[in-house]
Amino acid sequence: MIHHTEHLEQRKESLLNNSMFSENLFALYRSLFSLQFQSLQHLASIITDSKLIVDTTQYPMIQPHTLQFTDEIIADIKKMFKNIAALITQYQTAYSFDTLLANLDDNPELYKDIITALLSKDSTFEAIALNNKLDTDELIFMAVNAYKPLFIALKDAALQDITQFPDYTEGLCPFCGFLPDMAKIVESKNNKRFLHCALCECEWEYKRVKCVACGNENTDTLGYYSYEPDEKYRFDYCNKCNTYIKTIRITKQHDESQFDLTVENLITNFLDASALQMGYTRQ
């Protein structure tokens, strides 16, 4: 896992000076990234056999309904839920996760139900959010950030040196099946486009002229808008399904490792605002 805190700290001055982040929001994400990094270090030490959960002979390599968690893994996830809830309410006092935390204590199976529903991307997730007095987006934020260290640890253990996924052409993550949060075009790699998973942070190559959401390849209905103050940023849109994905173009003059797509996704809310104003939605 990239230590996101370090990349966020490098952008602190510009984020605060340009009013892109408040002091509270910056502090929240800095603390969140630290929690996740600590969790990942612990999980990496206890996951000795990823084959219990991961099947590298298929895509996606993790199937929602075959997930199996040990007591140690559940204990770590439980700790993450409680710590993230405390962190959010520390900086955003209007939020409450009391019902969710109480229900998780009463029914440990809910931990598996949440991640299964998240990966399955069906109406079950919305029902779980409603039953726990949360908006769907609130539960998505909680679930993605609580499970992220586990899925990164599983990915690192299962893939190790595997960086390519032959014959895989889908817009969902080949490892966990979740959605990408951002894309990058890398000039030093023949201008190839790569998608970045919002959950396990896996990256995979994806066709340049193709909608990530619906697979549309008609150039008459595909395009992009560049951010004029800094043209390395843009969002690619599809007029067939009216979705968009944010993209960063990394030139040959820049080292690819300088860009942390998890952090880039956070600090490019100006792209989200423009896309939403034009009538596009995220996948």
Residue spans per domain, the chain: 4-159, 180-282
Contact present, 226 and 233 (Cβ < 8 Å): yes
Interval 148-170 mean pLDDT: 91
Q: Residues 91-113: what's their mean pLDDT?
A: 96
CA angle 272/95/89 to nearest 5° reads 100
What predicted TM-score, i.e. pTM, was given to this entire model? 0.96
| Dihedral, CA of residue 14, residue 15, residue 16 and residue 20, to nearest 10 | 130
pLDDT at 20 over 90: no
Mean model confidence pLDDT for the chain: 95
- Cα separations (Å) of 178 from 25, 38, 61, 190? 25, 23, 11, 26
pLDDT band at 1 (very low <50, low <70, confident <90, very high): low
The size of the chain, in residues, is 283
- What torsion, rounded to 10 degrees, do the Cα atoms 87, 93, 95, 100 define? 50
Which pLDDT score, from 0 to 100, does residue 166 have? 86
Average pLDDT over residues 116-131: 96
Say what the pLDDT of residue 163 is: 76
Report DSSP state, residue 60.
Answer: S
**Banded model confidence at residue 259, pLDDT cuts 50, 70, 90:** very high
Report the alpha-carbon distance of residue 75 to residue 139 in Å, rounded: 19
Q: Classify 67 as helix, strand or coil.
A: coil
Name the CA radius of gyration of the chain, rounded: 19
Q: Which residue has the tokens 């009013």?
A: 19
Phi, psi angle pair for 184, to nearest 5°: -135, 145
Confidence of residue 58 (pLDDT cuts 50, 70, 90): very high
**Quick check: 4 pLDDT over 80?**
yes
